Amino acid sequence: MVSLLDIIGPVMVGPSSSHTAGACRIGLLARGLVGGTAERAHVELHGSFARTGEGHGTDKAIAGGLLGFRPDDERIRTALDIAEKEGLAYVFEKTTIAEDAHPNTVRITLERGHRKHSLIGESLGAGRIRIVNIDGYPVEVNGNHHTIVLVAEDVKGSIARIAGLLADADINIATLRLTRKARGGDAFMVIEVDEAPGESVRDSIRALTWVRWTHRLDKVGV
């Protein structure tokens, strides 16, 4: 359903809702994977992102997102300089991610301390985005909800346990998706929730012995 506020909005730094605002939102979501500003970022631009990205400030918008700037933050204009000052070393590269990939696709790989994570995101127009892959696991995250991602050993009852923790914290689950690469292999869980999960929820999920790692990707509404 089309919302009136989708039409009169978003408020954003120009010039392009897909190449600038959407790119920034993908950067913001990627930031959540390493829980803050990364030390190193490898950004691979595909399709139209690669062809016209520079003129649209796609690189600045992604760097801005990685620094925690929202799509309407004017600091995006100088985000590449700010990144250097804040110790974020970045490399932008043009590539073909897949022949049938969406025209505006980017793969972002981030390193912070001992952590290294990557995601593939698509910018769909009007600032809307879709994250289709995190660390090699196929996912579907649109950034319109707060999202918890976690990798867990494939143990029975894991979903019930996590759902219970969220219910105890009075957090409503909007969607839950579980994927795994092989039977008995690690499971990748993507949980979109209505309320922002606090530190205590994260800590109690992390305390579960079968959870390898978990992160909260903040809502990046347009």
Partner 1 sequence: MYSSLVLAIRDAESQKKSLSQLALETESIDQGRPIQEIRDALRRALVVMRGAVEQGMVGDMISASGLVGGDAAKLRAAKNGPLANTVFRDVLARALAVQEVNAAMGVIVAAPTAGGAGILPAVLTGIAAARGLSDEKIVDALATAGLIGAVVADRASLSGAEGGCQAETGAAAGMAAGAATEMLGGSPTAVGHAVALAQQATLGLICDPLGGLVELPCVFRNATGSAIAMAAIEMALAGITFAIPVDEVIDVMGEIGREMDVRYRETAGGGLAATPTGRRLARERLVQIKRGS
| Nearest CB to partner 1, comparing residues 47 and 121 | 47
Q: Is 1 in the site for partner 1 (CB under 8 A)?
A: yes
Binding segment for partner 1 (CB under 8 A), chosen from 68-76, 94-102, 133-141, 147-155, is: 68-76
Q: Is 55 in the site for partner 1 (CB under 8 A)?
A: yes
The single residue listed with the structure tokens 């209505």 is: 194
Please, what sign has the CA dihedral across residues 31, 222, 123, 191? Answer: positive
Q: Is 147 in the site for partner 1 (CB under 8 A)?
A: no
Could you say which of 25, 31, 56, 102 contacts partner 1 (CB under 8 A)? 56
Could you say which of 82, 126, 163, 169 contacts partner 1 (CB under 8 A)? 126
Q: Is 15 in the site for partner 1 (CB under 8 A)?
A: yes
Residues 85-104 that bind partner 1 (CB under 8 A): none
Q: Is 57 in the site for partner 1 (CB under 8 A)?
A: yes
Q: Is 11 in the site for partner 1 (CB under 8 A)?
A: yes
The set of long-range contacts for 69-75, using a CB threshold of 8 Å and a minimum separation of 24, is 69/24, 69/28, 70/24, 70/28, 70/220, 71/10, 71/11, 71/12, 71/13, 71/20, 71/21, 71/24, 71/25, 71/127, 71/222, 72/10, 72/11, 72/12, 72/13, 73/13, 74/13
Provide the minimum distance between the beta carbon of 61 and partner 1 in the complex, in angstroms, as a whole number: 9
Tell me if the bond preceding 15 is cis, omega within 30° of 0: yes
| CB neighbourhood size of 160 (10 A) | 9
What strands, in cross-sheet order, belong to the sheet with 104-112?
89-95, 40-47, 104-112, 115-125, 128-134, 137-141
| Nearest CB to partner 1, comparing residues 50 and 150 | 50
Q: What SS3 state is found at 119?
A: strand
Q: Is 172 in the site for partner 1 (CB under 8 A)?
A: no
Contact code string over 17-36 relative to partner 1, x by CB under 8 A: x--xx---------------
Q: Is 16 in the site for partner 1 (CB under 8 A)?
A: yes
Q: Is 8 in the site for partner 1 (CB under 8 A)?
A: yes
Indicate the pairing of strand 104-112 with strand 115-125.
Answer: antiparallel
Q: What SS3 state is found at 87?
A: coil
Q: Is 65 in the site for partner 1 (CB under 8 A)?
A: no
Which residues bind to partner 1, rule: CB under 8 A?
1-17, 20-21, 48, 51-52, 54-57, 60, 72, 74, 76-77, 125-127
